[in-house]
């Protein structure tokens, strides 16, 4: 995040999903803990700075509570294995 604050890196905001839009209570992306890490599963759309960002703030359901209370934010570097950009909107 230091690089972002210094203007040396671009960040992206990944909240919206194809089926639920920006309705966080109906978010489908999940985050499952595996050891010291989380595995995020799902799809985002309309990502601000998507495709040009160095890191992504990705919101996913961790399941601690129903609705919007069960959502966590994750910082995901753009070069993370499994992160794919299908289309720049």
DSSP codes, 50-89: TTT-SEEEEEEE--SSSGGGGEEEEEEETT-TT-------
How far is residue 44's CA from residue 16's CA, in Å, rounded to a whole number? 6
The domain segmentation of the chain, as residue ranges, is 2-77
| CATH of region 2-77 | 2.40.110.10
Q: Closest Cα to residue 39, out of 52, 25, 29?
A: 29
pLDDT of residue 17: 95
Per-residue pLDDT of the chain (89 residues; tens, 9 = 90+): 899 999 999 999 999 999 999 988 889 999 999 999 999 999 999 998 999 999 999 999 998 777 678 899 999 999 999 998 877 66
pTM: 0.88
């Amino acid at each position: 995040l230091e690089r972002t604050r210094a203007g040396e890196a671009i960040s992206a905001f990944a909240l919206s999903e194809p089926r639920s839009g920006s309705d966080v209570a109906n978010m489908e992306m999940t985050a499952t803990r595996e050891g010291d890490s989380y595995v995020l599963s799902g799809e985002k759309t309309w990502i601000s700075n998507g495709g040009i960002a160095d890191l992504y703030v990705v919101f996913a359901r961790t399941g601690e509570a129903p609705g919007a209370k069960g959502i966590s934010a994750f910082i995901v570097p753009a070069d993370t294995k499994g992160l794919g950009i299908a289309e720049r909107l």
